[in-house]
């Protein structure tokens, strides 16, 4: 009966002064499953009803009532062996769930309410990829990237057949293309130097960018042959030519000499 159940709960609660243990032991005594989500739900419901000072009052009655309502979720004729959490795991699982809920609330602030956790992962991953190496110069710039990510998610939902909005595939694709162009994400041309001369030029530009131009060239004896052109002509042109003119057939050129002029 309800009174007997409540007395059992109060006995365990008075001896342990712990709602979790009292609920767990009472479920064990009554041979009904301890479900951590039901435990949290009933506890929050009691607190939300400003019944904090009388939390233990009719607590198990509410728990069993909610358990009976959830037969479609848990089934019927369940005993304690159907419990989903051991006593030692209750605190850990509650902490993990609280952490997940806080993370979810944080994601909802940034992205709005989405359908599934996978949608948030998709949005976060796209944002990370699109903004890699990007230095934001104002607060509006990240929002533009997030708008693009949301549209990419809509495209995915349309293709997966789970989008219930009014926009069609073409309209969303056009908006994605426009946003990507505005953010210069559609520039796929490889701008890395390909030839030795290009590499030398890019290296020189890099050095000029990293140093003041005036300071960079104030020591011409050090920087005048940055691309090694003068050294190349001396070693590979003038030296062999001189040996040829004096009738010396050993030009003294090795593969290592050629490799020395390769620009990284």
Each residue of 177-191: pLDDT tens digit? Answer: 988 888 888 765 555
Kindly state the tokens that stand for 64.
Answer: 């069993």
pLDDT tens-digit map of 188-236: 555 555 566 666 766 776 766 666 655 655 666 666 666 677 777 777 7
Any idea how long the chain is?
264
Cα–Cα nearest to 148, from 168, 131, 166: 131
At residue 47's C-alpha, the angle toward residues 42 and 50, to 5°, is: 135
The two three-digit tokens of residue 211, written as one number? 């140093």
pTM of the entire structure?
0.42
CB of 130 within 8 A of CB of 185? yes
Cβ atoms of 261 and 232 closer than 8 Å: yes
Compute the half-sphere exposure of residue 250: CA atoms within 13 Å on the CB side of its CA: 1
What's the whole-number mean pLDDT along residues 155-168? 88
Report CA 231 to chain centroid distance, whole Å.
50
């Amino acid at each position: 009966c309800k009174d007997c159940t409540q007395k059992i709960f109060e006995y365990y609660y008075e001896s342990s002064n712990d709602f979790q243990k009292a609920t767990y032991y009472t479920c064990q005594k009554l041979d009904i499953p301890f479900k951590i989500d039901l435990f949290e739900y009933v506890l929050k419901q009691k607190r939300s009803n400003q019944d904090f000072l009388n939390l233990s009052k009719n607590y198990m009655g509410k728990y069993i009532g909610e358990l009976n309502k959830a037969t479609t979720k848990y089934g019927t004729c369940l005993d304690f062996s159907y419990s989903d959490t051991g006593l030692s795991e209750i605190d850990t699982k509650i902490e993990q769930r609280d952490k997940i809920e806080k993370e979810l609330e944080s994601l909802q602030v940034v992205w709005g309410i989405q359908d599934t956790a996978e949608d948030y992962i998709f949005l976060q991953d796209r944002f990370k990829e699109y903004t890699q190496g990007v230095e934001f110069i104002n607060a509006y710039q990240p929002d533009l990237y997030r708008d693009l990510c949301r549209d990419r998610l809509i495209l995915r939902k349309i293709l997966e057949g789970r989008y219930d909005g009014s926009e069609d595939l073409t309209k969303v694709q056009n908006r994605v293309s426009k946003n990507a162009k505005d953010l210069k994400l559609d520039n796929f041309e490889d701008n890395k130097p390909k030839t030795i001369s290009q590499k030398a030029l890019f290296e020189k530009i890099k050095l000029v960018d990293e140093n003041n131009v005036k300071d960079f060239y104030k020591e011409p004896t050090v920087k005048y042959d940055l691309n090694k052109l003068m050294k190349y002509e001396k070693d590979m042109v003038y030296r062999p030519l001189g040996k040829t003119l004096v009738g010396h057939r050993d030009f003294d050129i090795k593969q290592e000499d050629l490799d020395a002029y390769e620009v990284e």
